């Protein structure tokens, strides 16, 4: 007759393989959830990027501004230096203020390097540079495709290899308890 030991029902011979299997199972579940969240964020970025790619700026006309007053130096708290330039654009009665990166000191002369963009429906609505919608949209689309691709590659390897799933399980548990 065998002696009973007090092992609390634990099979000590298979504890390593059971922990490995449990960690791999958790890693798969964690990867499914994180891939879903990542692809949802990538879809939002992709849609926003496509909208930005087809969005047109209202500032489409390039005009030359005539400086009417000396440029004023602006030094903000981050140390960035910019200049406020006052001038007039033909067809507009009031003085226009444009923040530029270069000083335009000479008063009364046409400054060909100071190209400003004007709203054709409102000639006095002038900015130095229009917002780069196409560039930002392209960046968003590229970022979404790259991150989504890496997420799907990770999902592929987690589903194919139990060791990768176990590593994801360990990292997932670490990330959950780290917060």
Give the residue extent of every domain in the chain.
Answer: 31-54+134-178, 61-130
In this predicted model, which residue has the larger pLDDT, 70 or 44? 44
Mean pLDDT rounded to a whole number for the chain: 80
CA angle 160, 161, 163 (to 5 degrees): 160
Which phi and psi angles does 34 have, rounded to 5°? Answer: -70, -35
Gap between the Cα atoms of 27 and 30, Å rounded? 5
| Residue 73 DSSP symbol | E
CA end-to-end distance (rounded Å), the chain: 51
CB-CB neighbours of 168 under 10 Å:
23
> How far is Cα 114 from Cα 123, in angstroms, rounded to an integer?
17
pLDDT at 41: 97
- Quick check: 83 and 93 in contact, CB under 8 A? no
User: Which two three-digit tokens encode residue 160?
Assistant: 């194919």
**Residue 155 near residue 32 (C-beta atoms within 8 A):** yes
pTM summary value: 0.68
Residue 58: the pLDDT is 75
Residue 92: per-residue pLDDT: 72
Residue identified by tokens 């692809």 is 39
Residues pairing with 74 in the sheet: 82
Most confident of 59-63, 103-107, 145-149: 145-149
In sequence order, what are the residues at sequence separation of 6 or more whose Cβ sits closer than 8 angstroms to the Cβ of residue 104? 67, 71, 83, 85, 87, 111, 114
Which of 30-39, 117-126, 163-172 shows the lowest mean pLDDT across its residues?
117-126
**Among 7-11, 33-37, 88-92, which stretch is predicted with the lowest mean pLDDT?**
7-11
């Amino acid at each position: 007759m065998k002696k009973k030991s007090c092992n609390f029902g634990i099979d000590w011979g298979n504890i390593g393989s059971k922990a490995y299997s449990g960690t791999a199972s958790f890693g798969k579940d964690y990867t499914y959830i994180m891939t879903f969240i990542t692809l949802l964020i990538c879809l939002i970025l992709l849609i926003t990027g496509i909208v930005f790619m087809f969005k047109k700026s209202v500032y489409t006309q390039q005009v030359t501004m005539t400086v009417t007053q000396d440029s004023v130096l602006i030094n903000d708290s981050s140390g960035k230096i910019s200049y406020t330039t006052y001038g007039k654009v033909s067809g507009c009665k009031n003085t226009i203020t444009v923040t530029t990166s270069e000083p335009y000191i000479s008063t009364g002369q046409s400054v060909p390097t100071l190209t400003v963009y004007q709203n054709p429906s409102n000639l006095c609505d002038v900015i130095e540079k229009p917002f780069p919608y196409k560039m930002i949209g392209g960046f968003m689309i590229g970022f979404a495709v790259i991150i989504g691709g890496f997420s799907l590659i990770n999902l592929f390897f987690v589903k194919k290899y139990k060791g990768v799933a176990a590593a994801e399980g360990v990292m997932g548990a670490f990330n959950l308890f780290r917060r």
